[in-house]
Amino acid sequence: MVFKKIEENFKELKNGNEEFTKYGLIDKEDALKLFEINKWDDYLRLFNIASEVRDYFKKEIEITSTIHITNICKVNPKCLYCGFAAGTSREGYYNPFRISNEDIKKSAIAIEESGICRVSCSSAHGYEGREVLRALKIVKENTNLEVLVNAGADLTEESIKEMRKYNIDTICCNLETINEELFNKVKPGEKLKDRIKVCKLVRKYDIELSSGLLIGIGESYEDRVEHLFYLKELGVGEIPIMGFNPYKDTPMENHPKCSALEQAKTIAITRLIFPNIRITSPTPTIGAELVQFALLGGASNVATVIPDNHPMNIKGVGNPKTGNLNEVIKLIREIGLTPKIRKNRVGMKERN
């Protein structure tokens, strides 16, 4: 099997061979073989080496919270799986909203005071980045939180340049799948090329790019492998692995959920291709109670984690259920890992 090769390459990496950090511990052929494993002993070996690689580079597990700015989405027709946009699912927000500047400020301060160090600010499409830029400014003015913004392809070059002025940390634009036929089927109101364009613009301005996979929507293992190695060409700094988790009332409500084991396997293979980057598992897609699968697979960031003091009723993009901060911390510690949480769990900026 490929495990001996991986172990030898990892040993070389630890001995100072930076080529394995840059190019990864496996190639496309190796990745495809790993996707096809179906025995527990192989799963355990895969998770063991992927976790070792993660732990070599990452001493703490990051936690990212969420502020949703608006769900009023102008994409038409809507993505077949979407339960976030207004009017798509009774399980989701359903009613249209656009939160105020004050609500953004209160949410950001609450997140920082909980001890979380990073927040994702996301919006629906149709605003050319103005809504997430609004949130970025408010969060940076009132906290020391690291900020990721996510508006998909709804960003212009000018909005990206403006975000750089406000010290944006990460911009997320998930390709979800690079199988263009499948992309067009599940996202009929968007074009893959538009998302690729935004990804390239983010890198043009030397901003950290987050771009992930939505798995279990009908793609092949070959599609996943091609997608992961394309992300290496783009120079991503973060990859979210999002397992499909159906929302009721959507056209894909009866499509099968992607298992936690399949998500963990994909995370582990991603870790072997990208030894030192942030690999993210959002709680709504893996299932809040199943984040340990992602961590065993080598994830280094748990996202959509909501503290008890968060003033908004946050629902997940991939599924309405989100992860509670205290529960996520407990799950991280149960398997001997260390959550990245400020010990004093109070805000660092002076409060009025």
| Nearest-angstrom CA–CA distance, 6 and 134 | 45
Task: Give me the pLDDT at residue 346, please.
Answer: 54
* CATH code assigned to 25-338: 3.20.20.70
Domain boundaries, the chain: 25-338
**125: closest CA among 82, 186, 66?**
82
Task: Give me the pLDDT at residue 321, please.
Answer: 86
**214: closest CA among 254, 248, 255, 249?**
255
Residue 345 has pLDDT above 80, yes or no: no
Contacts of 206 (CB under 8 A, 6+ apart): none
Q: Which of 63-72, 108-117, 262-271, 316-325 has the lowest mean pLDDT?
A: 316-325
H or E element, residue 323 = strand 323-324
User: In this structure, which amino acid lies at residue 346?
Assistant: V
Euclidean distance between the first and the last CA atom of the chain, given in angstroms as a whole number: 60
Whether residue 65 contacts residue 121, with contact meaning beta carbons closer than 8 Å, is answered with no
Residue 344 has pLDDT above 80, yes or no: no
Q: For residue 128, count other CB atoms closer than 10 A to its CB.
A: 13
Task: Give me the pLDDT at residue 314, please.
Answer: 92
Contacts of 247 (CB under 8 A, 6+ apart): 81, 82, 83, 88, 89, 91, 92, 253, 319, 320
Q: Percent of the chain having pLDDT more than 70?
A: 97
φ/ψ (deg, to 5) at 214? -105, 110
Contacts of 352 (CB under 8 A, 6+ apart): none
For the stretch 199-219, pLDDT in tens is 999 999 999 999 999 999 999
Place of tokens 């511990």: 25
Whether this prediction's pTM lies above 0.85 is answered by: yes
Confidence band (pLDDT; 50, 70, 90) for 320?
confident
Contacts of 76 (CB under 8 A, 6+ apart): 189
For the stretch 56-68, pLDDT in tens is 999 999 999 999 9
CA angle 129, 122, 344 (to 5 degrees): 125
For the stretch 27-53, pLDDT in tens is 999 999 999 999 999 999 999 999 999
Task: Give me the pLDDT at residue 351, please.
Answer: 47
Confidence band (pLDDT; 50, 70, 90) for 189?
very high
The helix/strand/coil state of 130 is helix
For the stretch 298-308, pLDDT in tens is 999 999 999 99
